[in-house]
Amino acid sequence: MDLGIYMLIQAQAIFIFTLNKIKKLVMGFTANHVETQTSQINNLHLPNQLTVIEIETLLSMIKRTTFLGEDIEPLYNLVNKLQNQYTEQAK
């Protein structure tokens, strides 16, 4: 008896999931615009993204600081990411 109820609940969940996907697809066509996941990701604003001034400040602080040998590789990777983000934003 419990297996039958479980199967009905799973079938209902699959049906609702499929129905929502179809609804989004139909609504996209009726609006003459289909929004893809890529465009949603590109329009997403990252509130925690650093500004150019913040990156410059961090790089300047790193430049003036002395680090232990064990910190060099993680620090190099971090600075590399900061520089890449800086060059992307400075364009």
What is the spatial distance between Cα 43 and Cα 38, in angstroms, rounded to a whole number? Answer: 9
CA angle 66/69/73 to nearest 5° reads 100
Tokens of residue 49, six digits: 């993204």
Specify the pLDDT at position 33: 56
pLDDT of 23 above 60: yes
Bigger pLDDT: 81 or 7?
81
Kindly state the average pLDDT of the residues 54-83.
Answer: 86
Instruction: Please tell me the number of Cα atoms within 13 Å of 73 on its side-chain side.
Output: 1
pLDDT of residue 36: 57
pLDDT at 88 over 60: yes
What is the distance between the alpha carbons of residues 78 and 55, in angstroms, rounded to a whole number? 11
Query: Can you tell me the distance from the alpha carbon of 55 to that of 13, in angstroms, rounded to the nearest whole number?
Result: 46
pLDDT digits (tens, 9 = 90+) for 31-62: 555 555 555 555 455 567 788 888 888 888 88
